[in-house]
Amino acid sequence: MSNGTELYNKAKSLIPGGTQLLSKRPEMFLPEQWPSYYDRCKGAEIWDLDGKKYIDMSIMGVGTCILGYGDEDVDDAVRDVIKKGSMCTLNCPEEVELAEILCDLHPWADMVRYTRTGGEVITIALRIARAATGKDRVVFCGYHGWHDWYLSSNLADEKSLDGQLLPGLQPSGVPRSLKGTSIPFNYNEPKELDQIINIFGNEIAAIIMEPVRHEDPAEGFLEYVREIASKIGAVLIYDEVTSGWRMNVGGIHLLYNIAPDLAVFAKGISNGYPMAAVIGKREIMEAAQGSFISSTYWTERIGPVAALATIKKFQAEKVQSHLIAVGNRVREIWRNAAERYGLAISVHGIPPLSILSFDYPNGQAICTYFTQEMLARGFIASKAVYASFAHQDRHIESYKDAVEYVFRAISSSLEDGDLEKKLNGPIAHSGFKRLA
């Protein structure tokens, strides 16, 4: 048993759920075999507690380290402000500079507020929308975090959120009085939105959605949602926590030439340092002054400095072009290997956020086996590859060789019908489950 596995077993007795983030649970990747903890990381590489080095061809810090681990330009900027002091009684000037840049990149936006995580910045955006409209209900599409407003959707139907990314999310601890205040509709399904509007149109404060996630918008879909929001006087919020900064400098919505009323960013905006922002139109954002939205650590200096350094590197190095190229190469590797070995797969998402699925009844077992065999060959790998600026040709070529080998093994095991017998532990979880 590795040091990481031993430590995780200990952690489960001390930390409910084993870790702070569902997406980092070993059970989501390779139960009883995952390295679980890291000693250090750099570029696209990770060293575990046993000193073994892996190439990360998975989610790169759950989508945060868009430039790669320990990017020198960002880290140098952070080290400089740490020497000067990262927190004091006065405000840091960098938050003003960052606000100017965010508004310059998004000409439709006039004002900015900050937090340090994605879930809380989304919740603040909804608070602002409710304050601006004087209405309560929220209509949403996509995954938007862990807060009460979102999980309350499962009070009405325990499977309401299953089609929004993570199945099985439990609303335990969410006040039942919130039932019916958040209503989901599915992406590219305008008729579902129409049904909600016909019932609750005058009560809706906001429509919040990811403009793009696992599939492209159908023709006219984003435009229709924009039209509906304006018609009923609801605030249109784009959740760009995951999509932002990967296909272009700024929000992906800029590529579609559709302006929301508010947009939120986190993850890749600051390359692994906690930082999040909500930007918006002045007449909406001003409503924040009429509601108490305030927290001490939203004023620390590291987050804005890291965001500034990250954005400036994007502008100077055209990082998004590299991310798209890496994603397209990974997709090509998957498709070519699948064709060569007769595997049925599907590929989803924008190129920098590529998602692989094995189209078989035991697809989750196949994915677990893929992760197991890739780990044995020195890769942190799963059904997702989040491209980073640190992914270089040598990483991609090594990944290609390993995928070829493992896809061939999968094909052979499916023919023999013994793939599950080759798993060295349980099948990975596909959604939220309470740990034993």
pLDDT for the residue numbered 243: 95
pLDDT for the residue numbered 158: 66
Beta strands in 223-300 (DSSP E): 235-239, 262-265, 276-280
Instruction: Quote the CA–CA distance of 310 and 316 in Å, as a whole number.
Output: 10
Instruction: Quote the CA–CA distance of 201 and 404 in Å, as a whole number.
Output: 52
Read off the pLDDT of residues 188-240 as tens digits, 9 standing for 90 and up.
999 999 999 999 999 999 999 999 988 899 999 999 999 999 999 999 999 99
pLDDT for the residue numbered 157: 67
* C-alpha pair distances (Å), 128 with each of 175, 235, 267, 270, 275: 21, 9, 21, 24, 19
pLDDT for the residue numbered 390: 98
pLDDT-derived band of residue 377, with 50, 70 and 90 as boundaries? very high
Read off the pLDDT of residues 93-131 as tens digits, 9 standing for 90 and up.
999 999 999 999 999 999 999 999 999 999 999 999 999
3-class SS at 186?
coil
Q: Is 70 exceeded by the pLDDT of residue 314?
A: yes
Helix axes of 393-416 and 319-340: crossing angle, nearest 10 degrees: 30
Mean pLDDT of 22-26: 95
Domains and CATH numbers, the chain: 3-70+318-422 (3.90.1150.10), 72-317 (3.40.640.10)
150 or 15, greater pLDDT = 15
Which helix (DSSP H) or strand (DSSP E) does residue 358 occupy?
A: strand 353-358
CB 265 within 8 A of CB 115: no
Q: Pick the closest to residue 62 from 98, 22, 90 (CA basis).
A: 22
Read off the pLDDT of residues 326-358 as tens digits, 9 standing for 90 and up.
999 999 999 999 999 999 999 999 999 999 999
Instruction: For the chain, give the percent of residues with pLDDT over 90.
Output: 89
Q: Pick the closest to residue 96 from 292, 304, 316 (CA basis).
A: 304
The pLDDT mean for the chain works out to: 95
Q: Is 90 exceeded by the pLDDT of residue 149?
A: no
User: In sequence order, which ranges of 38-113 are alpha helices (DSSP H)?
Assistant: 72-84, 94-105
CB 283 within 8 A of CB 77: no
Full-model pTM: 0.95
Mean pLDDT of 157-173: 69
Q: Pick the closest to residue 396 from 379, 414, 376 (CA basis).
A: 379
Q: Is 90 exceeded by the pLDDT of residue 150?
A: no
Beta strands in 210-258 (DSSP E): 235-239
Max Cα distance, the chain (Å): 67
Instruction: For the chain, give the percent of residues with pLDDT over 70.
Output: 97
Report the half-sphere exposure of 120 (CA within 13 A, side-chain side).
13
CB 373 within 8 A of CB 406: yes
pLDDT for the residue numbered 163: 57
Instruction: Quote the CA–CA distance of 289 and 271 in Å, as a whole number.
Output: 30
Read off the pLDDT of residues 239-276 as tens digits, 9 standing for 90 and up.
999 999 999 999 999 999 999 999 999 999 999 999 99
Instruction: Quote the CA–CA distance of 96 and 92 in Å, as a whole number.
Output: 8
Read off the pLDDT of residues 272-308 as tens digits, 9 standing for 90 and up.
999 999 999 999 999 999 999 999 999 999 999 999 9
pLDDT-derived band of residue 168, with 50, 70 and 90 as boundaries? confident
Q: Is 80 exceeded by the pLDDT of residue 161?
A: no
Instruction: Quote the CA–CA distance of 152 and 134 in Å, as a whole number.
Output: 20
pLDDT for the residue numbered 215: 87
Q: Pick the closest to residue 106 from 281, 269, 274 (CA basis).
A: 281
Mean pLDDT of 37-61: 98
Mean pLDDT of 159-174: 70
Instruction: Quote the CA–CA distance of 428 and 382 in Å, as a whole number.
Output: 10
